[in-house]
């Protein structure tokens, strides 16, 4: 499960880091909306969580944890194949769609967006299996949030390396965005697709024990309604919406912020993204040893500190404070998940599917931030106030929302 968390982190971060190369390669004719169209790449990826979250939870109940992961890996390989086809289409054809007199988009860009959605669908299936399994499995001397943080160390390791992989390995450390060639993604993506398919074969042959009492035998619709009545889960879904949204806003849009507002080179802003994800890695590593600190205390203290750090970044217009927020973000996922699923028993898997719907925040908040930036003339400076709002909601969930019990019919 920890290895699967590394795959999830790597693919999610790679998708985010493609924003700037896609903007350079595909969006020359996007008018004044280049930031918004670039961020649609993230929107397409996280949209799959909303569309397929409940479906993936039902798949776990019907086919088990192992086959859900296998299905996710196969879908992931399909999404990577679409990335390859997009690049080939851009090289060998000149198909465009006119949206207005000043905005036109290549068809290959739309294929890339579809590939992003399919990759997100595969990750959704993997998440629906990995997260409840890490919470439900019994490892002596560890808490649920601690096990989540241990998995998060693997996740953050690959998330930290992904920006460097995209900028240095795929695009060869090019600083001049005009020199980026989209065909450079083809060979690395072919290799990555092969690795994913090999992983799916290995997982299929592994023995992954089922954990009794973690799935529900009820009718799917009845079970979903039952879970949705639990106020703590509903509010937890919104908390995850905010968490993934603010995490991606910084991890992905710090690159656009550095380029647009601070006129930094591509290699420099890619390094900023790497440092942010690296801070999350350090935080999760430390968090994996914090078995005596309650989930609630972790969440309220880190969200409050994050809001303060982002406010300082807005006042000083310095990205270093945003990088430091990664230390705080590192433990929020596990804390929210653990608080929302606490004592749910057989409803845990279904509740996990409901919570995954909240990951649509990773699609909406970065897109809204980039839309605001375009409306403000391409500047991201004051758009970070949107991120502060997300941090404050998570603070509310830690102090109040996570304390609600079940709401009876």
pLDDT in tens, 324-343: 999 999 889 888 988 988 87
CA 402 to chain centre: 22
Query: For residue 343, with 0-12 CB atoms within 10 Å meaning exposed, 13-18 middle and 19 or more buried, which class applies?
Result: exposed
Residue 320's H or E segment, with its range, is: helix 320-329
Q: Is the CB of residue 200 less than 8 Å from the CB of residue 73?
A: yes
Q: Is the CB of residue 372 less than 8 Å from the CB of residue 385?
A: no
Of the candidates 337, 143, 366, which has an alpha carbon nearest to the alpha carbon of residue 249?
366
pLDDT number for residue 165 = 85
Domains in the chain, please, with CATH? Answer: 2-403 (1.20.1250.20)
Q: Which residues of the chain have pLDDT under 70?
A: 144-145, 173-180, 211-224, 290-291, 346, 405-409
pLDDT number for residue 142 = 74
What does the block give as tokens for 383? 């758009």
Query: For residue 140, with 0-12 CB atoms within 10 Å meaning exposed, 13-18 middle and 19 or more buried, which class applies?
Result: exposed
Phi-psi region of 263 (alpha: psi -120 to 50; beta: other; left: phi over 0): left
Q: Which residue has the tokens 């705080």?
A: 328
pLDDT number for residue 162 = 85
Q: What phi, psi does 105 have (nearest 5°)?
A: -130, 140
Q: Is the CB of residue 243 less than 8 Å from the CB of residue 332?
A: yes
pLDDT number for residue 405 = 65
Phi-psi region of 342 (alpha: psi -120 to 50; beta: other; left: phi over 0): beta
pLDDT number for residue 409 = 36
pLDDT number for residue 123 = 94
Of the candidates 123, 118, 37, which has an alpha carbon nearest to the alpha carbon of residue 73?
123
pLDDT number for residue 53 = 82
pLDDT number for residue 342 = 80
- Scanning 102-219, the segments in alpha helix (DSSP H) are 107-136, 144-164, 186-205
**Please, what sign has the CA dihedral across residues 207, 211, 214, 219?**
positive
Query: Rounded distance, CA 311 to CA 382, Å?
Result: 10
Q: What phi, psi does 178 have (nearest 5°)?
A: -65, -20
Contacts of 400 (CB under 8 A, 6+ apart): none
Query: Rounded distance, CA 131 to CA 128, Å?
Result: 6
Q: Is the CB of residue 5 less than 8 Å from the CB of residue 337?
A: no
Query: Rounded distance, CA 125 to CA 89, Å?
Result: 29
pLDDT number for residue 56 = 87
pLDDT number for residue 23 = 81
What does the block give as tokens for 49? 């969580």
């Amino acid at each position: 499960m920890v290895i699967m968390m590394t795959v999830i982190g790597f693919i999610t971060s790679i998708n985010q880091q493609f924003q700037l190369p896609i903007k350079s390669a595909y969006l020359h004719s996007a008018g004044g909306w280049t930031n918004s169209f670039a961020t649609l790449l993230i929107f397409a990826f996280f949209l799959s969580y909303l569309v397929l979250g409940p479906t993936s939870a039902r798949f776990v109940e019907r086919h088990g944890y192992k086959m859900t992961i296998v299905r996710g890996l196969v879908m992931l390989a399909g999404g990577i194949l679409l990335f390859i086809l997009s690049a080939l289409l851009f090289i060998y054809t000149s198909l465009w769609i006119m949206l207005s007199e000043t905005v036109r988009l290549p068809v290959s860009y739309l294929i890339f967006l579809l590939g992003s959605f399919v990759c997100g669908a595969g990750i959704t299936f993997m998440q629906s299996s990995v997260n409840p399994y890490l919470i439900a499995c019994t490892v002596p001397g560890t808490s649920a949030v601690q096990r989540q943080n241990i998995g998060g160390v693997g996740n953050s390791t690959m998330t930290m390396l992904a920006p460097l992989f995209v900028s240095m390995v795929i695009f060869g450390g090019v600083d001049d965005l005009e020199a980026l060639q989209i065909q450079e993604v083809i060979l690395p993506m072919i290799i990555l697709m092969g690795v994913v398919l090999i992983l799916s074969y290995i997982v299929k042959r592994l023995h992954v024990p089922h954990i009794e009492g973690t799935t529900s035998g009820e009718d799917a619709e009845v079970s979903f309604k039952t879970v949705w009545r639990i106020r703590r889960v509903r509010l937890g879904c919104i908390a995850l919406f905010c968490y993934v949204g603010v995490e991606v806003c910084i991890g992905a849009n710090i690159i656009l912020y550095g380029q647009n507002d601070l006129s930094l080179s591509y290699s420099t802003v890619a390094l900023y993204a790497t440092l942010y994800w690296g801070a999350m890695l350090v935080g999760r590593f430390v968090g994996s040893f914090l078995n005596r600190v309650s989930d609630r205390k972790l969440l309220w203290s880190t969200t409050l500190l994050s809001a303060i750090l982002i406010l300082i970044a807005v006042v000083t217009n310095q990205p270093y404070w945003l990088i430091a927020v990664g230390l705080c973000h590192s433990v929020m996922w596990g804390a929210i998940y653990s608080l929302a699923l606490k004592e749910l028993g057989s409803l845990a898997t279904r509740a996990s599917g409901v919570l995954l719907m909240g990951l649509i925040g990773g699609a909406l908040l970065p897109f809204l931030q980039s839309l605001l930036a375009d409306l403000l003339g391409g500047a991201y400076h004051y758009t970070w106030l949107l991120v502060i709002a997300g941090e404050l909601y998570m603070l509310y969930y830690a102090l109040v929302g996570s304390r609600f019990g079940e709401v009876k019919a």
